[in-house]
């Protein structure tokens, strides 16, 4: 498995709806270089977004800083600002470009001369490696862009997070991409693998053999996880999911019972991108296990390693990070990040090792200090990421009955089974949140609707919803957002603690996530909302279907009118009270205390079947 890529921004973040945003104030060079040194540890590549030489004159220093930590440096930038030979001289190993179609389509989005600059860079004889991002808009544009990019790029990424991307044209765009890439050396990376709409399955039938052929040829399809976009999928959709290596809806349904947890337990938390998970949820899980009588020690780059028998204070309170704390923790513990941190551990006293994710679990299972009789508990909170480190060993890779997997994704069981994870090793628990770390709900009568997070979402739907919301304000808490009509507001970003406070004071959490067959967008936010009794109004997308139970809110068609109708229903006091009670019940089932009870006693809830 290739080493991971870490993405950093040297100026403004990436707009989730329209690509790279225009830069405002550049970040200080020293800050960027410090982050490169920090995140390069254990990474194969660090990619700076918006890092054209004219915008970031310290590319050579950044490349040197990455190399010192054992990683390469790449950039994602506008091709008009790039000199391929100069980039190679600076030590830049990879360039990520975008291509939106033919010259007229690309220049309309990126500006005059942008298309010619991309073509020239792709054909330059002495350039760095290139990857190209193609938006899944009109099929003709997709086909043209892939035809141009595939002969020259090492990888072409199909991206559904662009303006105008819908389930209909994404399905047709996939087909156009397969045809255009046929016979080229480029790997085709599939993003937003939606099947065709139920009323028009023809494109799916045509796509089915092409996808199977791609898999047989060793096509690169990372990040594809479970599920489908809505109930009622037909047999054609099932065949496409299988062709993509996704699971069908069949699920393990028998409840599992294990012996009670005994012996010394080590919960290991390396640096994780999810600050709430790493800085709050998992430390509180350790505290809850301790309260159940489990002998727990926590090892984390986010907190000084402490034995929770003796103390769980200071930096290990488990409070939600305030934003700067997470950044400071990353800088102060740079030499312990990633593989260096894991390698520094001594696991000789561990009877049970708990690891968040497959990558961390693999490093701990192969750790030279792990005892041969130690058990491993894998908490899979981010789908299949890292599982290929295990499956690379080939058939029969499963290490044995000393490994258990706790998954939060009911639809993903088929993928586990096909990968070789035995069904009797799988355990299910709802996505966890530490309610003790969250603010108490404090909702005024005029509390706003809240849309939050930077997961894939439909920006045009938010604007249309704001135009329809005449009785209550809509606040959008996100890095970027299309312009909203007054009195609705785009509030920018905040810390995890600020996000939790905003969720706890909202009338409802609005999650118009793009309807994707693989994207688990919005799950952490939905869990935060339910833990504070805030109803969820979200798209009828598979990730929310699996995590927002009936009664905790409303899942509606991905349409502004449907969202407006759902919010209007929650204006009724009795309807809102029922939804809030349902959210609180779901939040209690996903609380870390419920997790600790299942882990300590070995009594697991039944793996839920999907509709």
Q: Any idea what the CATH number is for the domain that residue 135 is in?
A: 3.20.20
**If you average pLDDT over residues 390-403, what whole number do you get?**
87
How does DSSP classify residue 444? Answer: -
Query: What mean pLDDT is predicted for residues 277-300?
Result: 89
Residue 253 forms part of a structural domain: no
pTM of structure: 0.61
* Integer Cα distance of 169 and 165 in angstroms: 6
423 and 449 share one domain: no
pLDDT at 487: 94
Answer yes or no: is pLDDT of 305 > 50.
no
User: Which pLDDT tens digit goes with each residue over 22-54?
Assistant: 444 567 888 788 878 876 765 678 888 878 888
Per-residue pLDDT, 210: 37
Q: Is residue 259 part of a domain?
A: no
- Do 396 and 444 belong to one domain? no
Q: Which of 453, 507, 510 has the alpha carbon at shortest distance from 478? A: 453
pLDDT value at 331 more than 50: no
What is the span of the domain harbouring residue 366? Answer: 264-434+592-601
Q: Give the chain's domain count.
A: 3
Q: What is the pLDDT of residue 421?
A: 87
CA 96 to chain CA centroid, nearest Å: 20
Has residue 279 been placed in a domain?
yes
**Comparing 484 with 386, which gets the higher pLDDT?**
484
Would you say residue 481 has pLDDT above 70?
yes
- Name the nearest CA neighbour of 549 among 514, 584, 519: 584
Q: Which of 243, 277, 312 is the last residue of a domain?
A: 243
Q: Per-residue pLDDT tens for 412-461?
A: 676 677 678 888 898 999 999 999 888 888 899 999 999 987 655 667 78
Hunting for tokens 């204006």 — which residue is that? 571
Distance, in Å, from the CA atom of 253 to the CA atom of 423, rounded to the nearest integer, reads 10
Q: Is 606 inside a domain boundary?
A: no
- The pLDDT, as a whole number, for residue 424 is 87
Tell me how far apart the alpha carbons of residues 256 and 264 are, in angstroms, rounded to a whole number.
23
Strands 403-407 and 375-380: parallel
pLDDT of residue 270: 80
Q: How confident is the model at residue 225 (pLDDT cuts 50, 70, 90)?
A: very low
What mean pLDDT is predicted for residues 525-532?
Answer: 94
Q: How far apart are CA 606 and CA 458, in angstroms?
A: 34
CATH number at residue 289: 3.40.50
Question: How many Å is the Cα radius of gyration of the chain?
Answer: 24
Assigned token pair, 522: 């919005």
Instruction: Find out whether 50 and 23 touch, Cβ atoms under 8 Å.
Output: yes
Look at residue 413 and tell me if it is in a domain: yes
Residue 251 above 60 pLDDT?
no
The DSSP-derived string for 220-254 is: --TT--S--SSS---HHHHHHHHHTT---S----S
Residue 374 lies in a domain: yes
């Amino acid at each position: 498995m290739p080493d991971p890529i870490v993405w950093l921004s040297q100026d403004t973040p990436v707009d989730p709806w329209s690509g790279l945003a225009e830069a405002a104030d550049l970040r200080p060079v020293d800050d960027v270089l410090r982050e490169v040194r920090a995140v390069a540890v254990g990474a194969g590549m660090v990619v700076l977004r918006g890092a054209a030489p004219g915008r970031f004159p310290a590319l050579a220093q950044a490349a040197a800083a990455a190399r010192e930590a054992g990683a390469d440096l790449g950039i994602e930038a506008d091709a008009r600002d790039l000199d391929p030979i100069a980039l190679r001289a600076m030590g830049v190993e990879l360039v990520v470009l975008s291509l939106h179609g033919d010259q007229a389509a690309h220049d309309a989005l990126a500006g005059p001369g942008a298309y010619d600059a991309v073509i020239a860079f792709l054909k330059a004889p002495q350039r760095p490696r290139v990857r190209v991002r193609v938006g899944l808009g009109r099929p003709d544009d997709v086909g043209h862009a892939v035809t141009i990019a595939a002969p020259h790029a090492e990888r072409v990424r199909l991206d559904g997070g662009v303006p105008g991307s819908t389930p209909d044209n994404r399905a047709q765009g996939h087909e156009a991409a397969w045809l255009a890439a046929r016979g080229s050396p480029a790997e085709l990376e599939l993003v937003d693998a939606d099947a065709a709409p139920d009323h028009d399955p023809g494109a799916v039938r045509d796509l089915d053999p092409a996808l199977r052929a791609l898999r047989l040829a060793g096509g690169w399809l990372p990040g594809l996880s479970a599920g489908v976009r809505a109930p009622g999928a037909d047999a054609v959709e099932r065949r496409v999911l299988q062709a993509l290596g996704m699971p069908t809806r069949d699920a393990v349904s028998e409840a599992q019972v294990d012996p009670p947890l005994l012996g010394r337990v080590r919960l290991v938390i390396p640096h994780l991108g999810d600050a709430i998970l790493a800085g709050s949820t998992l430390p509180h899980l350790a505290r809850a296990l301790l309260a159940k009588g489990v002998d727990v020690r926590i090892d984390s780059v986010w907190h000084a390693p402490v034995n929770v028998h003796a103390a769980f204070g200071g930096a290990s309170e488990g409070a939600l990070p305030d934003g700067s704390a997470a950044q400071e923790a990353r800088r102060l513990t740079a030499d312990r990040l990633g593989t260096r941190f894991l390698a520094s551990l001594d696991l000789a006293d561990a009877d049970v090792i708990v690891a968040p994710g497959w990558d961390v679990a693999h490093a701990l299972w192969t750790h030279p200090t792990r005892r041969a009789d130690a058990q491993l508990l894998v908490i899979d909170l981010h789908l299949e990421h890292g599982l290929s480190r295990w499956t690379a060993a080939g058939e029969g890779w499963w290490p044995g009955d000393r490994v258990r997997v706790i998954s939060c994704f009911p639809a993903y069981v088929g993928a586990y089974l096909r990968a070789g994870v035995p069904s009797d090793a799988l355990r299910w628990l709802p996505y966890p949140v530490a309610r003790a770390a969250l603010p108490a709900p404090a909702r005024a009568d005029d509390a706003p609707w809240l849309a939050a997070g930077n997961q894939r979402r439909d920006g045009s739907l938010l604007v249309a919803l704001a135009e329809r919301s005449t009785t209550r304000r809509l606040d959008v808490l996100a890095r970027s957002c299309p312009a909203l009509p007054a009195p609705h507001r785009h509030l920018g970003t905040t810390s995890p603690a600020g996000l939790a406070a905003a969720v706890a004071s909202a009338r409802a959490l609005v999650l118009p996530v793009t309807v994707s067959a693989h994207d688990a967008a919005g799950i952490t936010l939905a869990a935060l909302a339910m833990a504070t009794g805030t109803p969820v109004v979200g798209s009828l997308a598979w990730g929310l279907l699996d995590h927002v139970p009936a009664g905790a809110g409303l899942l509606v068609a991905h349409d502004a009118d449907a969202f407006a109708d759902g919010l209007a229903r929650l204006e009724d006091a009795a309807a809102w009270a029922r939804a809030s009670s349902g959210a609180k019940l779901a939040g209690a089932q996903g609380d870390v205390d419920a997790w600790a009870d299942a882990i300590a006693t070995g009594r697991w809830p039944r793996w839920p079947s999907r509709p």
